[in-house]
Amino acid sequence: MNYYEKTIGVQPIYHGNILDVERLTVELPNGKIATRDVIRNPGASVVIPITDDGQIILVEQFRKPNDKVFIELPAGKLDFPGEDPERCAARELEEETGYTAQKLEKILTLYPAPAFADEILHIYLATGLSCGECHPDEDEFITAKAYPLEEALRMIDEGVICDAKSVAGILMAERIINKRK
Amino acid sequence: MNYYEKTIGVQPIYHGNILDVERLTVELPNGKIATRDVIRNPGASVVIPITDDGQIILVEQFRKPNDKVFIELPAGKLDFPGEDPERCAARELEEETGYTAQKLEKILTLYPAPAFADEILHIYLATGLSCGECHPDEDEFITAKAYPLEEALRMIDEGVICDAKSVAGILMAERIINKRK
């Protein structure tokens, strides 16, 4: 089946700090014309930090869109489109948690909201962790804490962890760790 | 720790078909002023349809932001903010796949992009399926197909399924099904 929607017009709507908005005019497979609102951003790296004794490091952070504190995997935007996502992952891990990793292993590429945003998340399993001191960006209010992996899974079951990238990443890490046992 | 960011100004940027954009001015916990770009939409319901013989029904759909065909769980927007998400789940399941479910069970609430969007996804496990005929919205090009659950998990491992809600939902369904065995 031909699904492709050909772009026949691009209207820039907004240029923000962390995202841009465009309104596209497209031609559908049946020849009809439609519009698509698209959010563009450079993407981000996400880290699943697992300590040698099987704990996972998560961060607590306020997110304005829902006026809600989330418990999430450490993550941060690429500094520019095309930045090496592994370098970004190492930086964000250290900034947000104070840990550095001997091994960063790409385990997933995720599209968090493919219906309206082009964001791509590069998700890394981080092992061989050493603890340093965290130094978040100025004006970034964030607290890192270690949880046994089983507790993080319970927090998913109970809806305490509900950020999609964190739910997908933690469940995937458990799948990989179980396979390797 | 006090994380709260108080809203001190709201600038409407864009009113689109499926989303609105606002630029908020906020006061940080340290008293400094910052801006937050926020995408608002009414949220959506997502269905994990599992047949009596253990197959999962997925849909193939083109998504304009990445110019890419995704294999996803059936899903669709709430018709209006406050629509009963279970009603929306039943409707989208039937529209996109032709199946109706005897049982819809809420298993997850997910926030796909909490850093910049307020979207909430209501995720239901659908069982007791009966096959009818699918009738997608006019101008919606979508194909439904059944996969053994083990194959869907392999497709996650291989990056073929990479939409965050689908990865989280399928891994969670497997977790629940294994627990109940």
In a domain? residue B142:
yes
Q: Are residues A34 and A60 in the same domain?
A: no
Q: Are residues A88 and A15 in the same domain?
A: no
Give the integer Cα–Cα distance in Å for A36 and A7: 10
Q: Show the domain range for B109.
A: 44-180
- Which of B1, B3, B8, B26 is the mutation pick for testing A, counting most A CBs within 10 A? B3
With contacts defined as CB-CB under 8 Å, which chain A residues touch B36? 64-65
3-state secondary structure of A119: coil
Q: Among partner residues B1, B24, B109, which is closest to A64 by beta-carbon distance?
A: B24
Q: Among partner residues A17, A35, A171, which is closest to B17 by beta-carbon distance?
A: A35
Mean pLDDT of all residues in A32-44: 97
Q: Which of B60, B145, B144, B133 is nearest to B98 (CA)?
A: B133
3-state secondary structure of A115: coil
In a domain? residue B1:
no
Q: Among partner residues B7, B39, B167, which is closest to A110 by beta-carbon distance?
A: B167
pLDDT tens digit string along A153-162?
A: 999 999 999 9
Q: Does B112 touch chain A (CB under 8 A)?
A: yes
> Across the strands, what pairs with A101?
A129
Q: Among partner residues A14, A41, A66, which is closest to B21 by beta-carbon distance?
A: A14
User: Which pLDDT belongs to residue B134?
Assistant: 63
Per-residue confidence band for B136, with pLDDT thresholds at 50, 70 and 90: low
Q: Does B107 touch chain A (CB under 8 A)?
A: no
Residue A153, token pair as written in the block? 């899974």
Residue B161, token pair as written in the block? 């399924």
Q: Does A63 touch chain B (CB under 8 A)?
A: yes
User: Which pLDDT belongs to residue B110?
Assistant: 98
In a domain? residue A1:
no
CA end-to-end distance (rounded Å), chain B: 41
Question: What phi and psi values does residue A161 have, to the nearest 5 degrees?
Answer: -100, 120
Give the integer Cα–Cα distance in Å for B162 and A43: 14
Q: Are residues A22 and A78 in the same domain?
A: no
Per-residue confidence band for A146, with pLDDT thresholds at 50, 70 and 90: very high
Q: Are residues B50 and B24 in the same domain?
A: no
Cα Rg of chain A, angstroms: 18
Give the integer Cα–Cα distance in Å for A81 and A90: 17
With contacts defined as CB-CB under 8 Å, which chain A residues touch B25? none
Spell out the long-range contacts of B154-163 with Cβ–Cβ below 8 A and sequence spacing 24 or more: B155/B71, B156/A172, B157/A175, B159/A108, B159/A109, B160/B71, B161/B58, B161/B71, B161/B72, B162/A108, B162/A109, B162/A110, B162/A111, B162/B70, B163/A110, B163/A111, B163/A114, B163/B70, B163/B71, B163/B72, B163/B73
Q: Does B34 touch chain A (CB under 8 A)?
A: yes
Give the integer Cα–Cα distance in Å for A118 and B88: 25
Mean pLDDT of all residues in B34-38: 97
Q: Are residues B123 and B60 in the same domain?
A: yes
Q: Are residues B30 and B55 in the same domain?
A: no
User: Which pLDDT belongs to residue B146?
Assistant: 96
Q: Are residues B106 and B124 in the same domain?
A: yes
Contact B28, B34 (CB under 8 A): yes
Q: Do A164 and B112 touch (CB under 8 A)?
A: yes
Q: Does A59 touch chain B (CB under 8 A)?
A: no
Q: Are residues A166 and A104 in the same domain?
A: yes
Antiparallel, parallel or unpaired: β A68-72 and B142-148:
unpaired
User: Which pLDDT belongs to residue B95?
Assistant: 94
Residues 113..142 of B with a Cβ closer than 8 Å to A: which?
113-121, 139, 141
Give the integer Cα–Cα distance in Å for B45 and B97: 14
Q: Does B16 touch chain A (CB under 8 A)?
A: yes
Question: What phi and psi values does residue A68 have, to the nearest 5 degrees?
Answer: -145, 145
Residue of higher predicted confidence among A134 and B11: B11
Q: Do A167 and B172 touch (CB under 8 A)?
A: yes
Q: Are residues A25 and A56 in the same domain?
A: no
Give the integer Cα–Cα distance in Å for B157 and A108: 8
pLDDT greater than 70 at residue B101: yes
3-state secondary structure of B111: strand
With contacts defined as CB-CB under 8 Å, which chain A residues touch B106? none
Residue identified by tokens 């017009």 is A9
Number of H helices, E strands in chain B: 3, 10
Burial (0-12, 13-18, 19+ Cβ within 10 Å), A165: buried
Q: Are residues A15 and A73 in the same domain?
A: no
Mean pLDDT of all residues in A36-62: 97
pLDDT tens digit string along B154-170?
A: 999 999 999 999 999 99
In a domain? residue A22:
yes
Distance of CA B139 to the CA centre of its chain: 20
Mean pLDDT of all residues in B72-85: 94
Q: Are residues B98 and B142 in the same domain?
A: yes
From A39's Cα to the closest Cα of chain B, the distance in A is: 7
From B46's Cα to the closest Cα of chain A, the distance in A is: 13
Q: Are residues A32 and A55 in the same domain?
A: no
Give the integer Cα–Cα distance in Å for B80 and B16: 14
Mean pLDDT of all residues in A83-111: 97
**Residues of B assigned a catalytic role:** 138
CA distances to A31, A147, B78, B123 from B113, rounded to whole Å, are 32, 23, 17, 15
Q: Residues A169, A170, A175, A176: is their CA dihedral positive or negative?
A: positive
Which CATH number do you get for residue A131? 3.90.79.10
With contacts defined as CB-CB under 8 Å, which chain B residues touch A121? 164
In a domain? residue B80:
yes
Counting the structural domains of chain A, the total is 2
Q: Among partner residues B68, B143, B168, which is closest to A168 by beta-carbon distance?
A: B168
Give the integer Cα–Cα distance in Å for B63 and B70: 7
Find the catalytic residue in A83, A92, A138, A140: A138
In a domain? residue A113:
yes
Mean pLDDT of all residues in A156-179: 97
In a domain? residue B139:
yes
In a domain? residue B11:
yes
Per-residue confidence band for B81, with pLDDT thresholds at 50, 70 and 90: confident
